[in-house]
Amino acid sequence: MSSAFEDGFSAAKLFAQGYSYTYDDVIFLPHYIDFSTDAVSLSTRLSKRVPLSIPCVASPMDTVSESHMAAAMAALGGIGIVHYNCDIATQASVIRHAKSLRVPIASDAVFKSPDLQIGSVDDFGPSSFVFVSQTGTLTPSLLGYVSKSEWSSMKDDQKEMKIYDYMRSIESKDYYVPWDIDLDKIEAVLEDKQKGFVVLEKEGEAVNVVTKDDVERVKGYPKLGSGTVGADEKWMVGAAIGTRESDKERLQHLVKAGANVVVLDSSQGNSIYQIEMIKYVKNLYPELDVVGGNVVTMYQAENLIKAGVDGLRVGMGSGSICTTQEVCAVGRGQATAVYKVATLAAQHGVPVIADGGISNSGHIVKALVLGASTVMMGSFLAGSTEAPGAYEYRNGRRVKKYRGMGSLEAMTKGSDQRYLGDTAKLKIAQGVVGAVADKGSVLKFIPYTMHAVKQGFQDLGASSLESAHSLLRENVLRLEARTGAAQIEGGIHGLVSYEKKSF
């Protein structure tokens, strides 16, 4: 670039001003376009040996990442990290279940206990069926089903019957198909056998239920590239663990369950506990990638890189439900944190995960161009069909619970060790409990989000993450800080009313 036309600032200069910038505080200046949006590649790495087709990672939070989220993210080309706010057996079971969901559909099906009265069933949701199992959840053994049409024509004298006595049995093998069958074959089976649903089965156990409505819904979703599949030809799934002695036992069970990468989950990763755990994992499982963090400074990152991490998780107090910066007065603006840590990590070939502060596709573009290889998302994915938990209605809006792992509610389940507080006499919250609106399926909105990210890269003249990082290091890409007025101007303003649709 000719010095006569230099505009804005290099990243090195902008981030050396002594300010802690968030994503909204900075803006990239457009560059030169000589390729189409479809020519942009977002392929990347989560860690040294875990390649991804898209730079999206589901955060290890108990209201975000369990089996359906992990399977869906892998199917899209990203990855989900299963939380550890549960006992060892449960986390291992979630990982096995995620890897068995070859068709990653989080069904709208409702499950009930057989002892309930049929008259008490008043919520079929969007599904045409209520399924019956011993526990009232999807379990290895389903007992039967009740169709909405039969339920609606039920006579008054039948309402006190137990569901078990009213339901139709699904013992017939006509309802069962292999777990690894693809969507087109499921559709063909439903058409051929004239059934409203099929049960996906693996080694004699039910792993999912897919209805005809589910198939029709998913067929309309946009498609991305190839999914994230491991050497075992199953979805790649990550697992979070802590840094306590008990986590060494947890690690062994998770590896046995098929975890492809381990994330050491701590709000402040630069500790003797994490450094020792990194060394322990790498010694016991040399081929298993370990992601360390969280960090926000080069000093923190250097210590974990020396210990042997294969990836770094960057962010402290930037999440929408996190109060660490407010409570503890430590942390960093996420744009500054990502740029600083990524600058050092790139010298060692260690990929960076930008964790927190992602509210829109523009934030993803900024995180990736500033040096991150992936973005980890919590609130962005919470409230989706695949997120754990049931929908409820608040003030007329359909929502799901979303809570920070530093909230007192989550800490009572065990997440306090993430904040080194599991042995403390007093519990101090570093997060809150809230709710987020129904977003629909990640299988639908993530592909649209990735296309928006590609458009951002095109405007910057970067056809890949590697290209973007190179252009930033060479000072070709220029930035500026935005005033409060500039941020307002850059958003929707000056309207009496409007309807915002992202896609």
Just list the catalytic residues: 322, 418
DSSP string, 272-334: HHHHHHHHHHHHH-TTSEEEEEEE-SHHHHHHHHHHT-SEEEE-SS-STTB-HHHHHS----H
Has 430 been labeled as part of a binding site?
yes
Can you tell me the distance from the alpha carbon of 326 to that of 143, in angstroms, rounded to the nearest whole number? 50
Has 404 been labeled as part of a binding site?
yes
CA-CA-CA-CA torsion sign (455, 459, 463, 467): negative
Q: What are phi and psi of 185, to 5 degrees?
A: -70, -35
Q: Which residues of 157-167 are buried (b: 16+ CB within 10 A; e: fewer)?
A: eeeeeebbebb
Can you tell me the distance from the alpha carbon of 499 to that of 503, in angstroms, rounded to the nearest whole number? 12
CA 502 → CA 363, 447, 448, 450, 452, distances in Å?
14, 12, 8, 12, 9
Has 357 been labeled as part of a binding site?
yes
Has 339 been labeled as part of a binding site?
no
Has 405 been labeled as part of a binding site?
yes
Has 317 been labeled as part of a binding site?
yes
Please state the length of the chain: 503
Has 402 been labeled as part of a binding site?
yes
Has 316 been labeled as part of a binding site?
yes
Has 355 been labeled as part of a binding site?
yes
Has 403 been labeled as part of a binding site?
yes
DSSP state of 371: T
Which contiguous run of DSSP H or E holds residue 26? strand 26-28
Has 266 been labeled as part of a binding site?
yes
DSSP state of 34: -
Has 463 been labeled as part of a binding site?
no
Has 320 been labeled as part of a binding site?
yes
Q: Is residue 294 reached through a cis peptide bond, with omega within 30 degrees of 0 on the bond before it?
A: yes
Has 406 been labeled as part of a binding site?
yes
Can you tell me the distance from the alpha carbon of 244 to that of 274, in angstroms, rounded to the nearest whole number? 9
Confirm if 257 and 92 have CB atoms less than 8 A apart. yes
State the Cα torsion 70-72-76-82 to the nearest 10°.
-10
Has 467 been labeled as part of a binding site?
no
Residue 126 C-beta-side C-alpha neighbours within 13 Å: 15
Has 356 been labeled as part of a binding site?
yes
Which contiguous run of DSSP H or E holds residue 360? none
Annotated binding-site positions: 265-267, 315-317, 319-320, 322, 355-357, 378-379, 402-406, 430
Instruction: Specify binding-site residues for NAD(+).
Output: 265-267, 315-317
Q: Per the annotation, where are the binding residues for K(+)?
A: 317, 319, 322
